[in-house]
Homo-oligomer: A and B are copies of this chain.
Amino acid sequence: MEIACFIEAADRHCQQQGVKLTALRRQVLELVLSYPGVVKAYQVLADLQKQRGIAAPPTVYRALDFLVAAGLLHKVDALNGYIVCHHVGCSHEGLILVCGDCGQVEELDATPVLDVLRQQAGGAGFAISQQNLMLTGRCKECRT
């Protein structure tokens, strides 16, 4: 199974970083993984409630925050959602393409373009921090 494999990698990744992928965090990660694209916190919360009967917002937000900090998820501000990072470990800044029609997500490497952006911003006295680039558009399928 694809998911189990990812979880295993995530587990190793957390151990390397000296943080713990607890049962709850793993469960939330699995729930996010079960979606093909962007997922919202309250959707994860609903799923979690189906599985363990009761859960409150802080439970899922804390897990999501942890997973983002660990580099396993990315937050998609424009959609108030989260996506799985499929480039764990490859110390990267992501170029995240979100299809506005179907919600599917593709993640490319933004390192080269961010070098250019850092230079351009630096010329204006601005130091841009480590971050991902989010762009919206339409995926191959949705372009018909």
1/0 per residue, CB under 8 A from B, across A111-144: the answer is 0010011001100111111010101111110010
State the CA gap A126–B137 with chains docked (Å).
Answer: 7
Q: Count residues of chain A with CB under 8 A from any CB of chain B.
A: 28
Nearest residue (CB) in B for A128 is B137
Nearest residue (CB) in B for A121 is B97
Do the beta carbons of A120 and B140 come within 8 Å of each other? Answer: no
Give the number of times this chain occurs in the complex, counting copies: 2
With beta carbons under 8 angstroms apart, the residue of B113, B129, B137 that contacts A136 is: B129
Q: Does A106 contact B (CB under 8 A)?
A: yes
State the CA gap A97–B95 with chains docked (Å).
Answer: 17
Q: Which residues of chain B have C-beta atoms less than 8 A from A133's C-beta?
A: 117, 133, 135
Give the interface of A toward B (CB within 8 A): 77-78, 95, 97, 99-100, 106, 108, 113, 116-117, 120-121, 124-129, 131, 133, 135-140, 143
